Amino acid sequence: MNLKAETLSKIDEVITHYPVKRSATLPLLHLIQEDIGHLPPETSEWVAAKLELEPINVLEVITFYPMFRQKPIGRRHIKVCRTLSCALVGGYKTCATFEAEFKTHLGEVSPDGEVTVDFVECLASCGTAPVVLIDDELHEKVDAAKAKQLSDQIKAEAKKR
């Protein structure tokens, strides 16, 4: 697995927090996903070796939880809240705007590799719905017009690279 040195040391440290090694499965998967952006196929075997498990035990965890991604995502991750408060004030339209702007569909990498748009559940900012998380940054009151504005911003930043 091609992980950063920092991730590898966090992994070794996290394992020491648990009296039973297998309990570290979820934290390890989160750390790997944070580093690479998704969980590549070799993850099950690698984590299993670390935690003295069978690869199938790890694969079961990866496939059970929807927050784990087995496919790569775009450079930017746009997460649109679809829970009630956001849905009621246009969250679905916000999402459709991002999809149209980047010519992509939910959960897929846009053709330019720039973004993946996903729905997520409540982001705990219901009073400023619709809410969108772009990478780690929360954006509030994102109606279709603001979604277009944010898309333009992402495209402009991509051009500078």
State in angstroms the smallest separation of the CB of 129 from ligand FES: 5
In angstroms, what is the minimal distance from the CB of 157 to ligand FES? 25
Beta pairing, strands 76-81 & 115-120: parallel
Q: Which long-range contacts (CB under 8 A, 24 or more apart) does 132-141 make?
A: 132/78, 132/79, 132/80, 132/81, 132/94, 132/98, 133/77, 133/78, 133/79, 133/81, 134/76, 134/77, 134/78, 134/79, 135/76, 135/77
- Ranges of beta strands (E only) in 15-159 are 76-81, 115-120, 132-134, 137-139
Write down the least CB distance from residue 102 to ligand FES, Å.
21
String of contacts with ligand FES for each residue 75-104, x by CB under 6 A: ------x-xxxx------------------
Q: According to CB under 6 A, which one of 44, 116, 125, 151 is a site residue for ligand FES? A: 125
Instruction: Tell me which stretch binds ligand FES (CB under 6 A): 16-24, 56-64, 100-108, 116-124.
Output: 116-124
Residue 83 CB, nearest approach to ligand FES (Å): 4
Q: Does 39 bind ligand FES (CB under 6 A)?
A: no
Residue 64 near residue 25, CB atoms below 8 Å? no
Using CB under 6 A, which residues numbered 126 to 155 contact ligand FES?
A: 126, 129, 131
Which residues lie near ligand FES (CB under 6 A)?
Answer: 81, 83-86, 122-126, 129, 131
